[in-house]
Structure 1
């Protein structure tokens, strides 16, 4: 394992961190604002907790519950939850031996802001058809976009791998947030699932439930005012 400053594609990395060798089993530890990397050999091989599709979907549901002007429909909630989990579609590259450091590797282009923008627009057009781009459809597009972006943000909270390509395809530099609560979980798989539940799943479900409850209370008030 090597410790110290490192260079990525000729640029000075912004962190002082420990990175494992290819055969190593130790996680990297960031002590700066953002950790950046784009080398496959720097990929963390340790068993860090990673957000599962269920947690991503729960966050998407919570976003739908709070970003809609009225009580969100079931379709909005379902599509938002699906969009929040969609970026991990890049996992199909694993059996195809796609390099983890490539643009189409895990946490690459599908985790970028560009992908979120394009996919949100397409999903809105496909699942919420209309003759014109109304304010309601624009709000739905915003909801789906935030759900997609939330996936990359949650992944950037994990010490697994070298980070997320937020700005692909314009830059393949990878980023990880300084606060990484999703680290190596104790107690094996159950410990990792428990860590994920405490950090992401349960808070997301609670926030989503509160959002639905608030929206339901506002419906009678608007009906009475009308």
Structure 2
């Protein structure tokens, strides 16, 4: 898995590229939280839920179904999230988690299509170094992970945010 910081940066970069008029700051921040949220499934280890179980790490919480349900529940509970644009953004933010995990070089893959099929999937190319869980993050492998994420997530996200801001500025000029 990429680190929770990198998961959160993806929807924040998309929101920055789109601009505050399209994606309000509270919705963007909620997207950042939702993008990191699927990794809360690691608490299952403490309750005896095995990694490979449907509700284990990278299981149901990393699926498109979970992303859709999460976005719809949030919209039902939070009036600010009731527009189609907000719902789609929040869905994409949550779904991005499983997609980015599919680009990592370790673990069992992500159960993107749960509950319709329980297989775990990776992309054909897996350039992102998988993040160690827990205290092992503060190791040489953790640094390797951050370097990988910088190249494959942070730089493209910064480019996207800057390009979107530049495009908006150029359109705003008379």
TM-score (norm 2): 0.83
Is contact 1:68–1:140 with CA below 8 Å preserved after alignment?
Answer: no
2:50 equivalent to 1:99 = yes
Q: What is the RMSD of the two structures over their aligned residues, measured on CA atoms? A: 2.5
Partner of residue 30, structure 2 = 79
CA distance in 2, matches of 1:217, 1:70: 16
**2:152 paired with 1:152:** no
Higher share of residues assigned helix: 2
**Structure 2: unaligned runs, 5 residues or longer:** 132-139
Query: CA–CA distance in 1 between the matches of 2:35 and 2:55?
Result: 18
Instruction: Provide, for residues 101-153 of structure 1, a one-character-per-residue CA deviation record: whole Å limited to 9, x for no partner.
Output: 111100000001100111111222333348xx6xxx10111111111111111
Unaligned 5+ segments in structure 1 are 1-49
Aligned match of 1:214: 167
TM-score, reference length from structure 1:
0.65
What is the CA–CA distance in structure 1 between the aligned matches of 2:32 and 2:159, rounded to whole Å?
A: 15
Deviations 1:45-69 (A, max 9, x none): xxxxx31111111101123234579
Deviations 1:50-94 (A, max 9, x none): 311111111011232345793532112101111111111111112
**Residue equivalent to 1:163:** 109
Within 1, Cα distance between the matches of 2:101 and 2:144? 18
Specify whether residues 184 and 100 from structure 1 end up closer, same or farther in structure 2 by C-alpha distance, changes over 3 A only: closer
Contact 1:157 1:179 in 2 (8 A): yes
Aligned residue-pair number: 166
Q: Aligned pair in 2 of structure 1 residues 123, 63: CA closer, same or farther (>3 Å)?
A: farther
2:129/2:144 contact within 8 Å kept: no
Distance 1:144 1:212, change over 3 A: farther
